[in-house]
Amino acid sequence: MTGESFVLGAIRDGSAKLVLLASDTGASSQKQFRDKAASYGVPLNEAFTKDQLSTAIGSARTVIAITDPGFVRKLQQLLAD
């Protein structure tokens, strides 16, 4: 899921298994997503810039919610290496 309102909804309803937040997102958005993810126990990763996230999904975005648990496990393994 992409887009701020969709990602916030996915965090709230428990479907987000990992949130990717662009490292160069504005301070107020960073705080909003960090706080929301922390309060709902959703892991949040800021390893990528806006350009990197946008290139990866083919659409200009600063935040992405990943809902597939298998994809999240593999992505977290790759990020840890």
At 53-67, the pLDDT tens digits run: 999 999 999 999 999
Cα–Cα distance measured from residue 16 to residue 34, given in angstroms and rounded to the nearest whole number: 13
- Output the pTM of the full model: 0.93
The domain of 32 spans 4-80
* Average confidence (pLDDT) over 2-30: 96
Q: Is the pLDDT at 3 greater than 90, yes or no?
A: no
Q: What pLDDT was estimated at residue 53?
A: 96
Q: What pLDDT was estimated at residue 2?
A: 75
Q: What is the CATH number of the domain that holds 9?
A: 3.30.1330.30
Q: Is the pLDDT at 1 greater than 80, yes or no?
A: no
Cα–Cα distance measured from residue 29 to residue 25, given in angstroms and rounded to the nearest whole number: 7
Interior CA angle at 34 toward 31 and 35, to 5°?
80
